[in-house]
Amino acid sequence: MDNGKELGPIAAYDLIVIGAGSGGVAASRRAAAHGARVLIAEADRVGGTCVIRGCVPKKLMMYAASHGQLLREAAGYGWVGMAGRFEMERWADAKAREITRLEGLYRGMLADAGVDLVNGRARLLGPGQVEVAGRTLRSERVLIATGGSPAQDALPGLDLAMTSNEVLDLREVPSTLLVVGGGYIAVEFASILAALGAQVTLAFRDALPLRGFDHDLRKRLAHALTERGITLAGGVGLDALTHTAERFELQRADGSVLGAQAVLNATGRRPNTAGLGLEQAGVDIDERGAITVDIDSRTTVQGIWAIGDVTNRVNLTPVAIAEGRAFADSEFAHHAVRVDHRTVASAVFTEPPIATVGLTETDAARLGPVDVYESDFRPMRTAFVGSQARSYMKLVVDGLSDVVLGIHMIGTDAPEIVQSLAVAMTCGATKRDFDRTLAVHPTAAEEFVLMREPTRRHGKPPQGPAGTAPS
């Protein structure tokens, strides 16, 4: 164990956590702060998907890609001699050092909190009993926080492709890259690798990428990806992936074939539930392998909870952290806390980036009258150097109560802007609140408080100039 403590053949704890990712670490530290004796078991590196092979290294790669665009823009601002060449090996070495540093911080946080850490694969023996690293451990409470991993069964041969795990360990940029999938992982890496110099093709079944996002964001992202040289191969079923000595080939349902030097499988993720002993313990899982839980993260077995991606509720790191802390507060501080999964902001780190919180226009319109406010413009920074890139913002507003139901943006700084606006939306802000907020000028974010007239309405009769129905 990392903190030097020794376990006997049978050890008892107030809480055993399986999985030292963001959610598991947050729950462990919070429970320990409430006075619980806690052990956390991890079969891999401490930090989980987000820190080791997900959000953090992905965004570091995104930063690397964005610097190329900044160098090109610099010439338009009077800078000379700014040409450069990207060397992925240098980035990969720097990324590895940073991830090692962050893992050390996570291990240190656990040790400082008094949480015992065991490196090993854990398995439920039954309610209140866990086997890990050859030892049997006991606890009245077991929390499963094992996250998810890339799915490889969407079509035959997909196991030949690299996943989001391996792409972050690349030491050279492939000359041609085929990305299979149309979700946020697919479009993020397509955007990033294209900016780093790969010729990218994005293959997906739907007509547009990012199914489930607001339709106007999806349309604008598709246009932006195409403008950046990415080939969109959508609207056709995908049959099988094969590999020859020269290249990978993706067979499509219409008989066409897409080829590339490298392939990234970005067809989704699956909960990490295999080998946990869930069946022996009586813990129910659904058809996708996710652990079934209630609003308080309780499984179908007393004394066993689950949080994060392994439950397949809202698969985002901040949600897992919030669920972990809510569990610890409820169980060890006797202060009932629940996580509201209805209003969760999210971002897609493409170029340009997307951010969104709340209902899409389509979903809101199904519930009742809706007013839609929009702004579409060329940002000052890029317009100055002749770029045709645009930013787009949308507010979806309840047509009866004036409450803002959805906030959506694609454009520079979208994640930072929408994160701040998510606070207002969580507090129940109305369109009137936006209207009486003074703008910070000149900024892109001010557009959100300058939208005065709706561009369209759903579920309302047309109105005359004085607000009365036209004759």
Do 262 and 199 meet the contact criterion of CB atoms below 8 Å apart?
no
Three-state DSSP state, 249: strand
Length of the chain in terms of residues written: 471
CA 382, chain centre distance (Å): 27
Q: Give the pair of three-digit tokens for residue 347.
A: 């971002």
Contact (CB, 8 A) for 177 and 196: no
Distance between CA atoms of 193 and 65, rounded to whole angstroms?
8
- Cβ burial of 366 (10 Å; 0-12, 13-18, 19+) is exposed
- Say how far apart CA 45 and CA 32 lie, in whole Å: 21
Residue 340, classified by CB atoms within 10 Å of its CB into exposed (0-12), middle (13-18) or buried (19+), is exposed
Tokens of 32: 């320990």
Rounded to 5 degrees, φ, ψ at 353 are -80, 160
Give catalytic status of residue 34 as yes or no. no
User: Sign of torsion, CA 284 289 294 299?
Assistant: positive
d(CA 74, CA 203): 33
Unique residue bearing structure tokens 């990234």:
264
Coil, strand or helix: which one is 52? helix
Only one residue has tokens 């700014």, namely 82
Neighbours of 465 (CB within 10 A): 6
At 10 the three-state DSSP class reads: strand
**CA distances (Å), 211 to each of 214, 285, 317, in order?**
8, 25, 20
C-beta of residue 250 within 8 angstroms of C-beta of residue 259: yes
Residue 328: which of 113, 64, 179 has the closest Cα? 113
Instruction: Report d(CA 21, CA 262) in Å as an integer.
Output: 29
467: which DSSP letter? S
Three-class SS state of 463: coil
Contact assessment for residue 144 and residue 130, using Cβ atoms and an 8 Å cutoff: no
Catalytic residue among 67, 335, 341, 441: 441
- With H, G, I as helix, E, B as strand and everything else as coil, classify residue 465: coil
Question: What are the catalytic residues?
Answer: 441
